[in-house]
Amino acid sequence: MIAGSSFQIALFLAVLIALVKPLGLYIARAIEGDPPLLGAVARPFERLLYRVAGIDPGVEMSWSTYATALILFNAAGTLFLYALQRMQGWLPLNPQALPAVSPDSAWNTAVSFVTNTSWQGYAGETTLSYLTQMLGITVQSFLSAASGMAVMFALMRALARRDAKTIGNVWVDLTRATLYVLLPLSVLFAAAFMSQGVIQSFAANETVPTLQINTWQQPKLDAQGQAVRDAAGNAVLQTMTSRRQDLPMGPVASQESIKLLGGDGGGFFNANSAHPFENPTPLSNFLQMLAILLIPAALCYTFGVAVGDRRQGWALLAAMAVMFVAAAAFTIHAEQSATPALTHAAVAPNERALVGGNMEGKETRFGAVSSALYAVVTTSGGDGAVNAMHDSFSPMGGLVPMVLMQTGEVVFGGPGSGLFSMVIYAMLAVFVAALMIGRAPEYLGKKIDAYEMKMVAIVILATPMLVLLGTAISVLVPSGIAGIANPGAHGFSEILYAFSSAANNNGSAFAGLSANTPFYNWMLAIVMWFGRFAVIVPVLAIAGSLALKRKRAEGPGTLPTHGPLFIGLLIGTVVLIASITYLPALALGPIVEQLGSVLGH
């Protein structure tokens, strides 16, 4: 079992790293408007877009103008997606005649996909029409990913330039990221997914008779959609039966490709990538994991090309890969073992005796290893897609995905957002190192002054504040407590996971939390918005400050930022910041749940 899991990790990383350099070089040329192969075909269309929009691509922006334009652009996208959901009952491409989405759910969804979070408090196949899925969700999956990439492009220019008052043109960056990178890759992956059986259809849902009576239990809900509870506080279950099954249809493959490549992760179906129409085979599962990390990993090489030292990009990639392997190995081991409660009860005295490991909430066609690896990929890659229910993971197996998000998703992360967050940590690492050796901190020849460190502090502290404050409020007010389906430590973990996912713009969930309520829809929408832009604005402020500075020549006391020593320092900085920030909260959730399971309580 150990050999099999090691092989899967090694194979996945080998394929991923093999694609880093060619795609990274391609993106570097695409930023300049000269992508190989596509340039001759797409450049005229790019120029046409500028003319229609009245944009002069030769005019660059200061960091404040760049940030303002980006925020207004995303705000407009939020309003458009909200309006689309509210009016979908009167719009075409709605064969199921789905009604308008409620105001709080529509707003939560709009903010979610515009911020590249893809938090879903609804079931896609029973809530959103085909038009809303395509014109709303899919479009924002492109644009939110392009927004993250645009910020990274601006930061790379700032590090490469000197005495510059501008950091680029946001409209050009958004256009090129979408037209030259996201769109062609989406077409390729959509074709690959369709070859594996992912559906692509505009037909209405099909109802088919089943060979046997389907019986299941689900929580009983009151008129407000809240779980009905007994005197002990447990959810009241009701037995449901059916002789028919409704098979949802829809344009899935086209949305599937950009949801993964763009880091948005929102599933067409409620079961997301655990649904056989969305992820039917082991090969499609492998391609999905590859799509999630492909652009974030390739951008590391693009970074090295842009700053004129490719070793810098490889160093950042190496730090990400080391943390990824450690997280994957730990999670896979936890999910290959029997749960602590079963082991304690002597159901499986030998933890390896449970064939397949902890299979609760997992698809048998993927198994424990691929499900655990997918969970690590999706929470390290800034993508909310899931092929198993994280709520059913063992306490330690569920802890790792939570911690990966709480690092600020710097282990690859979303397109652009993961890399610029890791660069921020690199600046913090050189600042700490400079304090130890008594030198002025520098990164890539640019001096890191008090202003940059203030902005770094905002970037690093903004999301933990949102996570911990949101979690604290939710466990104190009745509306927050009402959404918990599992009392105790696991219920706390569900809330902590939800806010960790929202603030870090991931979108995955423990799923046991009843979050499609006005309280959680509004709370999580606020956290998602500020989790995105309370980070992006100070990053662009850092870019504007660094662009003005001249590069210093390397001297005998300069800390190399491309060697093993710096990689270790960078990893240590990320782990230390996450530990001191979240360890007390984690101790109240998955850690105490693990201890309780082991002790039989």
Q: 414-423, pLDDT tens digit by residue?
A: 999 999 999 9
Q: Looking at the structure, do residues 234 and 105 belong to the same domain, yes or no?
A: no
Secondary structure (3-state) at 251 = strand
Strand, helix or coil for residue 85: helix
- Read off the pLDDT band of 519 (50, 70, 90): very high
Is 352 a residue whose pLDDT tops 50?
no
pLDDT score of 343 more than 80: no
Q: What is the pLDDT of residue 2?
A: 58
Name the DSSP letter for residue 279. S
What confidence category does residue 507 fall into, taking pLDDT thresholds of 50, 70 and 90?
A: confident
pLDDT value for 29: 94
Nearest to 185 by CA among 151, 136, 142, 140: 142
Q: Are 292 and 263 in contact (CB under 8 A)?
A: yes
Residues 205-257: pLDDT tens digits? 778 888 788 887 888 877 767 778 887 778 788 888 887 877 888 888 888 99
Provide the pLDDT for residue 366: 87
Average pLDDT over residues 273-298: 93
DSSP assigned state of 108: H
Q: How far is CA 343 from the centre of its chain?
A: 33
Between the CA of residue 346 and those of 29, 119, 127, 325, 404, what are the distances in Å? 60, 38, 44, 32, 32
Q: Is the pLDDT of residue 346 over 90?
A: no
| DSSP conformation class of 513 | B
For the ranges 42-46, 65-69, 242-246, 528-532, the lowest mean pLDDT is seen at 242-246
Does 33 fall in a domain? yes
Domain assignment of residue 70, yes or no? yes
Instruction: Name which residue leads in pLDDT, 368 or 457.
Output: 457
Q: Per this entry, what is the length of the chain? A: 601
- Same domain, yes or no, for 132 and 212? no
Q: Is the pLDDT of residue 103 over 90?
A: yes
Pair of tokens at residue 380: 């390290």
* 294, 219: one domain: no
What was the pLDDT predicted at 347? 54
Where would I find the beta strands (DSSP E) of 123-271?
Answer: 206-219, 237-247
In a domain, 242, yes or no: yes
Residue 196 lies in a domain: yes
Q: Which of 62-76, 206-220, 486-500 has the lowest mean pLDDT?
A: 206-220
Beta carbons within 8 Å of 418's beta carbon, 6+ residues apart = 296, 320, 381, 382, 409, 410, 411, 412
End position of a domain, from candidates 215, 247, 279? 247
**240 and 126, same structural domain?**
no
pLDDT in tens, 37-57: 888 888 999 999 999 999 999
Whether 219 and 293 share a structural domain: no
State yes or no: pLDDT of 320 exceeds 70.
Answer: yes
Instruction: Identify the residue with better confidence: 435 or 453.
Output: 453
175 plus 279 within the same structural domain? yes
160 within some domain? yes
Is residue 100 domain-shared with residue 45, that is, in the same domain? yes
Torsional sign, CA 70, 76, 80, 86: positive
Instruction: Please classify residue 309 by burial: count the beta carbons closer than 10 Å to its beta carbon, then call 0-12 exposed, 13-18 middle and 19+ buried.
Output: middle
Say if residue 222 is in the same domain as residue 200: no
482 contact partners, CB below 8 Å, separation of at least 6: 226, 227, 514, 517, 519
What integer best gives the mean pLDDT of the chain? Answer: 89
> Do both 39 and 125 map to the same domain?
yes
pLDDT of residue 351: 47
Number of H helices, E strands in the chain: 22, 4
Spatial separation of the C-alpha atoms in residues 319 and 408, rounded to whole Å? 14
Residues 272 and 237 in one domain: no
Find the mean pLDDT for residues 59-69: 97
Q: Is the pLDDT of residue 94 over 70?
A: yes
Q: Using 50, 70 and 90 to split pLDDT, how confident is the model at 202?
A: confident
> 269 pairs with which residues across the strands?
none
Look up residue 583 and give its two tokens. Answer: 């360890």
358 is a domain residue: no
Distance CA 122, CA 107 (A): 12
Q: Tell me, what's the pLDDT at 113?
A: 94
Provide the pLDDT for residue 19.
97
- Residue 544, C-beta contacts closer than 8 angstroms, at least 6 positions apart: 62, 63, 64, 158, 167
Q: Report, as an integer, the average pLDDT of 316-336.
A: 94
Predicted confidence band of residue 4 (pLDDT cuts 50, 70, 90):
low
Contacts of residue 596, Cβ cutoff 8 Å, sequence gap at least 6 = 489
Least confident of 162-171, 241-250, 283-292: 241-250
What confidence category does residue 454 fall into, taking pLDDT thresholds of 50, 70 and 90? Answer: very high
Residue 119 domain boundaries: 24-204+250-302
Domain count, the chain: 2
Tokens 């028919």 locate to: 244
